[in-house]
Each structure stands twice: as structure tokens, then as C-alpha cells.
Structure 1
Amino acid sequence: MGRGTARVFAGGGGGDAARKVDDLSVQNTSPPPSRRKRAAPPPHASHGEERTDVYSPEKRSAVMRRVKGKDTTPELAVRRILRKAGIGYRLGGAGLPGKPDVVMKGRRVALFVHGCFWHGHDCARGARQPKANADYWIAKIGRNRDRDARNAAALTEQGWRVVTVWECGMKAPDFAANLIAEVRDQAAAD
């Protein structure tokens, strides 16, 4: 074989394959894909059994602390829709009640993007009750709802129009058109 040429041929049985490239012979000793052992699925409880947390309480706490509070996937999707529609905005209304996710200052429109579970929406996802530490989480989500209502009222009192986008609503096929229409309606209202 000359330089720059390659020839591939099947080797002997047992799944071995030999490759001849520029007079170098390399043996592939791994079994063919059909004979490879598959990794065992992760351990989990059987149907009906209560699952235990795989993390220690300290590790779980550290994991939960890292949950993003800004630039979430739903927020990025909303911003992408607004940008494509040519609607100008600013991020994070620092100094405004509740720090809205998106602010249209000249139009006095404040937009919040809420996750259904965390903000206690009345959809299927928002109605789910956590099993671990349920009393704490039910109270926490209730406080979140109260805080959201207070912030919306404070913004309205200051002359802002508030738009709340719920995570579950983003799955609707006409979500983008409805969001653009709602923002434009709020911006035009005076």
C-alpha cells in the first residue's frame, strides 16, 4: 500500500476487527456493540415504595442553593420573543418592587416570568405538593404568592403595568403572539 491509501478489512471471528492503514496494523479488541454489557440502571425504589434522597442533607442544601434565580430557560425564551418582535427592554428592575425580570421603562411595563411550582400557580404543576419537608414548602410557596401579590400591587401603585408570564402558558402554540399582543396592549394603555 502506498502513502495516503487505506484499506479496511474484517479480521477473524469473535468480534475482532483489524485495520490496515499505511502498513500499520491496529487491533480493535472491544466486542461489537450488540455484545457489550449495558450499564445497570441507577438504583431506585420499586413502584409504590418511598424514594430516599441520594444526597446527604448538606449536599441537597448545596444543590438547592445553586438553583438559578435569573437567566432561566423560560426567561431567555421570553426575552428572545420580545427581541424578535422588536420590543425594547431592560433586564432586572433593580430598585423596583419584586425586581421584575424584564422592564420596559419608557412604557412603564414590568414583566415577571414565574415558574408554576415555585410561585404556586393554579395549574397541574403548581398544584403539586412536595413530599419531603411538606410543611416548610407549602408555607414557603404561600409566602411567595403573597410576596408576588404585594409586589404587583406596589408596582401598580407606582404607575407600572404588570405582566406575569407563567411557565405552563409558554407551551401553548400561540404563546409568542399572545405575549407580544399583551405587552403592546399594556404599553399602549394610558
Structure 2
Amino acid sequence: MSDTATDTNTTATTSGLDAERADLLEALAKQRHFLRFTARDLTDEQAGQRTTASELCVGGLIKHVTNTERSWADFMVEGAANMPDFTAMTEADFAKRAESFAMQPGETLAGVLDAYAEVARRTDELIASLPDLGVTHALPKAPWFDGDARWSARRAVMHVLAETAQHAGHADIIREALDGAQSMA
């Protein structure tokens, strides 16, 4: 195994880290690579194109994963303070949130990928530097969380890992329907 847990788009290394942090960084790097690789050689128009019955597109999935990772990285440091109260969201709030799953006018794939790389760097730095991955915070209010549940920073990282892997798979299906290219075959 190499001494880096990330690909060329991130900066954290596993040198000197405990095995748990190194494993988390390596697993995240692998799933991030799959998601980014799915977007290889796409034009901005193709990155925003829907190719299945869903509303999803490759660029929108990368935007969503970026926003999700940013939110959970903030959670690791500050708890749910900057996360929405999903139980109080209106239809308009949910419609605005749905925009994060699509390429908007003026957005470019390069810009979306740059934003993702920056968020990934920050998350990697947090994983490497947080004094204790076991510190817990109360979860934001949401119908899918138990009322008084708490998650550790470790659990938040595992959630980001699962989200990234799930959406890399979605992106792979969308890309294959677009032009036959496969990322994870």
C-alpha cells in the first residue's frame, strides 16, 4: 500500500496516522475517485443531462455529494448548528434543495469538480486532525433520525463514505446510459 490515502486531487497522507484514520481516508479516496472518474471527458452539457427516468445527472450528483460532505464535515466540528431542521422545511425549501441535484445555468463541470476537491481536502484534514473521532453531537432534526440520537465524527465519516459510494453507483448508471462508458466495470 502506498503511503497516501488520497488521489492527486487531495492532500492528506496516512504517514503517521493511526490505522483507523488511514483506513477511512483510503476508503473515501477510492469512492471519491470512482465518482470523479465517472465524469471524465464529459462536456458541461453532458454532465447536466438526465439519461434515466430519475431527475439525476452526473454533475448534479457530484454537487449533492459535495454539499453532503461539507455539511457532515461541519457537523464533525460544530454539531448540527449549521444543518437544517428538516422537520420545519417547507415545500419551497425542499424544491430549492432539489436544485443541488442538477447543473444550474452557468455552472461548469470543472467548477463542480473543483468545489468537490476543496471539500474533500477539508474533510481529509479534519479526519487526520480531530483529537477524537468518538466525540458525539446531537443529530439535526429530521424524520429519518431518532429524536435524541447522537453521532460521532467517525459515524459522520462513515455516512459520507456510504453516500459517496451510493452516488458513485448512480453516476455510473447515468454515464453508461449517456454514452456507454463504464466507471466501475
TM-score, reference length from structure 2: 0.25
Q: Which has the higher contact order (CA 8 A, sep 6+)?
A: 2
TM-score, reference length from structure 1: 0.25
> Hey, which of these two has a bigger chunk of helix by percent?
2
Larger radius of gyration: 1
